[in-house]
């Protein structure tokens, strides 16, 4: 079996490899620390299963899953996440992910998940099953944040995506062919709609606290 593990934390990757080495024989592990490397490895080495962290530099787990589906690649995707977010789970399944596990329970659930996925079945961790009942996300606070994000205009969303990529207002202005003043106005409106305090670093702090949820931005 050829197995790819993509996560930007090397200690976490090693822990998963050590775990799986005790369960499976003759496994070829492919390690990646970012989404772009993972995409290249999936396309050229065609692993049987790719275990992807949602929040990675380069391309996130949702983007990779969609690319695997769009390119009709044979690799089966298992998504790891830190949050119980309904919309993220729905997107992952729409894009063809076969497994979805909370990182906190990866040690307990991953082997079972891999076995089911290899048998061409789907696996949703027990702690995530309630996210599929149509009532709403498990985490009410995340739902409130998600609703605020949906109030942003397309221009504001583009700006927020680029701020999330650590771009300055000047860099964003150049990329969007706008003035720096316009970008600053967008940032101000974003802060108002997200109900952030009027501090210079409030948006940056908010982004650092909502990295996982921001993985959905490309799907809005």
**In this model, does residue 138 exceed pLDDT 60?**
no
Question: What domain range includes position 183?
Answer: 140-219
Q: Measured between alpha carbons, how far is 169 from 37 in angstroms, rounded to an integer?
A: 28
CATH number at residue 50: 3.40.50.2300
- Tally the domains of the chain: 2
Confidence of residue 135 (pLDDT cuts 50, 70, 90): very low
Does 6 share its domain with 98?
yes
- What phi and psi, each to the nearest 5 degrees, are found at residue 5? -125, 120
User: What is the pTM assigned to this prediction?
Assistant: 0.63
Query: Minimum mean pLDDT among 29-38, 66-75, 150-159, 170-179: which range?
Result: 150-159
Give me the count of residues in the chain.
Answer: 220
Residues 99 and 115 in one domain: yes
DSSP state of 120: T
For residue 130, pLDDT beyond 70: no
Signed CA dihedral, 137, 145, 203, 180: sign only: positive
Q: Answer whether 53's CB lies under 8 Å from 47's CB.
A: no
Structure tokens at 189: 């409106």
* Structure confidence by residue, pLDDT tens digits, 40-98: 999 999 999 999 988 888 888 888 998 998 888 999 999 988 766 667 777 788 888 99
Pick the last residue of a domain from 132, 162, 187: 132
Structure tokens at 51: 């275990």
3-state secondary structure 72-97: CCCCEEEEEECCCCHHHHHHHHHCCC
The mean pLDDT of 104-126, rounded to a whole number, is 87
pLDDT value of residue 6: 94
Mean pLDDT of 32-43: 92
Same domain, 150 and 206: yes
| Radius of gyration, CA atoms only, the chain | 19
Residue 125 shares a structural domain with residue 201 = no
% of residues, the chain, pLDDT over 90 = 32
Domain boundary among 132, 154, 185: 132
Answer whether 49's CB lies under 8 Å from 78's CB: yes
What integer pLDDT is reported at residue 12 of this predicted model?
A: 87
**pLDDT band, residue 137 (cuts 50/70/90):** very low
Q: Are 80 and 7 in contact (CB under 8 A)?
A: yes
- Residue 136 pLDDT: 40
User: In what side-by-side order are the strands of the sheet with 99-102?
Assistant: 28-32, 2-6, 49-53, 76-81, 99-102, 123-124
Cβ count within 10 A of residue 43:
13
pLDDT value at 151 more than 90: no
In the chain, % of residues over pLDDT 70:
85
- pLDDT of residue 106 exceeding 90, the answer is no
Number of other residues whose CB lies within 10 A of the CB of residue 187: 18
On whether both 100 and 188 belong to a single domain, the answer is no
Residues 122 and 15 in one domain: yes
For residue 117, give the H/E element and its range. Answer: helix 106-118
Same domain for 124 and 146? no
């Amino acid at each position: 079996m050829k197995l790819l593990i993509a996560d930007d934390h090397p200690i976490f990757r090693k822990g998963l490899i050590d775990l799986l080495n005790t369960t499976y024989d003759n496994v070829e592990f492919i390690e990646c620390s970012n989404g772009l490397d993972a995409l290249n490895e999936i396309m050229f080495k065609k692993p049987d299963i790719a275990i992807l962290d949602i929040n990675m530099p380069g391309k996130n787990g949702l983007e990779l899953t969609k690319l695997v589906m769009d390119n009709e690649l044979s690799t089966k995707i298992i998504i790891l996440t830190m949050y119980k977010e309904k919309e993220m789970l729905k997107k992952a399944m729409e894009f063809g992910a076969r497994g979805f596990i909370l990182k906190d329970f990866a040690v307990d659930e991953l082997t079972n998940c891999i076995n089911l996925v290899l048998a061409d079945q789907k696996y949703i961790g027990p702690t995530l099953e309630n996210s599929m009942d149509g009532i709403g996300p498990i985490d009410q606070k995340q739902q409130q944040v998600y609703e605020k994000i949906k109030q942003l205009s397309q221009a504001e969303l583009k700006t927020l995506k680029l701020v999330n990529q650590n771009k300055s207002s000047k860099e964003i202005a150049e990329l969007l062919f706008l003035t720096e003043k316009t970008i600053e106005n967008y940032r101000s409106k974003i802060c108002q709609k997200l109900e952030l305090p009027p501090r210079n670093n409030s948006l940056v702090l908010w982004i650092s606290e909502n990295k996982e949820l921001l993985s959905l931005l490309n799907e809005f």
